[in-house]
A and B are shown apart, each in its own frame.
Chain A
């Protein structure tokens, strides 16, 4: 079983829609959680860190559920520019090893 798993999508949504997707992790020693955005063949860029109490950054909301070992990302009022692949990244507490999900592709259409 992979350490971090994501629904690959693609999620194809109209502008203005809300889209949400999850990322599950298998190692309970996981400590830090991040969502990255990656545009085609470019470097991943940090979208937001995920905090225990959940956090928002504009139209983006991230949640962490430690009991069920998953994090989620919700995008409200989708824009065309939100079209990208969203990577879930998990860092372990014990050895700081970082594990990546394979990414969830979101396409926002006009």
Chain B
């Protein structure tokens, strides 16, 4: 089954403790991206990647890192999480041209 898989689904952590949210897709998509969704603000792009070893900042990259060493994986790294990074996070991927985005089922992160 074609899918985007994120882990974990839920994560509660403390300020400053490094964490990684994994994202993997099995559709051989070149484009992958990370979003956060907060009430009243909609989906905001954190980082995106057009291909292996190519990553770019989205609209809200501060406090996040990503890597794209392989086509299928695009982990999101929070080196020193802070409470304002408490949010619902989605990973997504898409094929070329006019292809739509496929979303993972989300990671709800709480930073205390």
Contact = CB atoms under 8 A, between A and B. Distances in A.
Interface string A27-69: 0000110101000011111100100000000000000000000
Q: Looking at chain B's contact residues, is the secondary structure mostly helix, strand, loop, or mixed? A: strand
A31 B35 CA distance: 21
Interface residues of A, number: 21
Contact of B42 (A42, A49, A103): A103
Interface residues of B, number: 23
B42 A101 contact: yes
Interface of B: 31, 33, 35, 40-45, 48, 50, 88, 90, 97-98, 100-106, 108
Interface of A: 31-32, 34, 36, 41-46, 49, 87, 89, 91, 96-98, 100-103
